Amino acid sequence: MNILTFDIEEWFLEKAYFGAKESKYAEYDRLLDEILAKLQEVGLKGTFFCVGKMATDFPAVVRKIHDAGHEVGCHSNTHQWLNKMTYEQAMEDTHAAVDALEQCIGEKVESYRAPAFSIGSENKWAFEVLAANGITRDASVFPVSRDFGGFPDFTKIEPTVVKYNGIEMHEFPIATTNLFGKELAYSGGGYFRFFPYWYVEKEIKHAVYSMTYFHLGDINPVASGVMTKADYESYFGEEGTLKARYLRYLKFNLGVKGNKAKLFKLLKNIPLNNIFEAESLIDWGKAPVITL
């Protein structure tokens, strides 16, 4: 089972942090149109996790995705990490985001991904927050350590029933592979940009389960320059040293050139489902269970 997802936030980030340039909005509009056209050409439907502010500030973008037949999921309200929020802040953020998206597309939103996969052992209460806001399918677990925490105690790399404080959630974690004795992601974001195409395709074809995740920033840089100290600290919630800002800039731009062709090749060669479709293919009575 191979799952196709996109995280949609670039228009909002441009408006909030990078100058609200109309030229950037036009670039993202063009790239989204290309992606939607390619998906139609190859007959694939994806899950597009959109931030709630996309629904209020750029509703035409969200409706375009929905009208093309793709699942619209929630990606928080303003792309702030859940592991830097309190329970109450996460509840308010999730409610605002889900409500805005549902009003925009006129349908329930039941799939969710936290920005930067920011649900882990220290804020596992986030599953309760999601359930309280009508979310039944989550794709926020990054089952190894990473910059923003990860969830190394999550021992399953397959669709899993998560039980926490009386609620159940269908979890679709990021898939990893063992490389030189270390578990690494390979099928989305900066990992997809870093690894050669042949390696990614080989791993997906050999895996029983894989989860892809892409951003428009993976094929077109989000920022034209290094973030200011103030914007960096507002966005990442950490000290905006010059080193930290340059490292983030390099990370955002690594492997972007030529990545669109790489992505389109994957879409042509690999069968993929969105999360809504994938859920219906799983016998959840036989799925692994993790009680947190």
Q: Are residues 110 and 249 in the same domain?
A: no
H/E run at residue 160: strand 160-164
Q: Are residues 161 and 127 in the same domain?
A: yes
Q: Are residues 88 and 169 in the same domain?
A: yes
- How far is residue 5's CA from residue 172's CA, in Å, rounded to a whole number? 11
Q: How many domains does the chain have?
A: 2
Q: Are residues 88 and 171 in the same domain?
A: yes
| Phi–psi pair at 136, nearest 5 degrees | -120, -20
**Whole-structure pTM value:** 0.89
- How far is residue 216's CA from residue 129's CA, in Å, rounded to a whole number? 28
Q: Are residues 172 and 37 in the same domain?
A: yes
Q: Are residues 147 and 210 in the same domain?
A: yes
Quote the tokens at residue 3: 């799952």
Q: Are residues 123 and 245 in the same domain?
A: no
Q: Which pLDDT does position 174 carry in this prediction?
A: 94
Q: Are residues 195 and 244 in the same domain?
A: no
Q: Are residues 109 and 208 in the same domain?
A: yes
Residue-wise pLDDT for 33-85, tens only, equals 999 999 999 999 999 999 999 999 999 999 999 999 999 999 999 999 999 99
Q: Which pLDDT does position 253 carry in this prediction?
A: 60
Q: Which pLDDT does position 178 carry in this prediction?
A: 85
Task: Tell me how far the alpha carbon of residue 78 is from its chain's centroid.
Answer: 13
Q: Are residues 145 and 45 in the same domain?
A: yes
Q: Are residues 233 and 171 in the same domain?
A: no
- The list of the chain residues with pLDDT below 70 reads 147-148, 221-227, 232-233, 235-236, 244, 246-256
Please report, for residues 159, 210, 224, the alpha-carbon distance to residue 286 in angstroms, rounded to integers and kept in the order given: 11, 19, 48
Specify the CATH number for the domain of residue 17.
3.20.20.370
Q: Are residues 248 and 262 in the same domain?
A: no
Show the domain range for 82: 2-220+256-291
Which residue type is seen at 127? F
